[in-house]
Amino acid sequence: MGSLDRAVLTGFICRLCSEMHRVVLHIYGEEGLRLKISEKISRYLSINVSRADPLPKTICKTCLERLESQHRLVTVMEHAAQLLKRNSSDLEIGRGKENNDNNNKNGGSTL
């Protein structure tokens, strides 16, 4: 059993941008599994990656960064949506009291 933690290989095609890269990450390597790359790809990119398909199982650093930033964005948005939902049930929606202060004082001074 060779260790899969070496992600540095020469001339591998990225699954996402289909370009040749020297440095890639194996989707099903140790790091790839830890980062849940295949789950993130299928969730955010509507691409199905499986160990059995004949396509490349590697992604490049650029695509990894894009995938991770997408994940961060979605995570932040989901967190915000949950917060808003929670807060909207706690908050009393104030009935807007409109105080119209119309101070129209016409000091009658006719010349």
Of the pair 49, 60, the CB lying nearest Zn ion is at: 60
14 is in an annotated binding site: yes
* Residue 17 is assigned to a ligand binding site: yes
15, 56 contact by CB (below 8 A) = yes
CB atoms closer than 10 angstroms to residue 42: 13
Which of 9, 17, 55, 77 touches Zn ion by CB under 5 A?
17
Distances (CA, A) of 44 to 10, 74, 103: 27, 9, 58
Q: Which two tokens stand for residue 56?
A: 């490349």
Distance (Å) of CA 14 to CA 47, 59, 60, 89, 103: 13, 4, 5, 46, 71
Q: Which stretch binds Zn ion (CB under 5 A): 5-13, 17-25, 32-40, 71-79?
A: 17-25
Task: Pick the closer one to Zn ion by CB: 13 or 33.
Answer: 13
CA distance 16 to 63: 7
Judge whether 49 is annotated as a binding position.
no
Q: Residue 61: enclosing H or E segment and its boundaries?
A: helix 61-90
Which residue number, 5 or 19, has a Cβ lying nearer to Zn ion?
Answer: 19
Site residue total, Zn ion (CB under 5 A)? 5
Exactly one of 7, 12, 14, 58 binds Zn ion (CB under 5 A); which one?
Answer: 14
Site string for Zn ion, 48-87 (x = CB under 5 A): ------------x--x------------------------
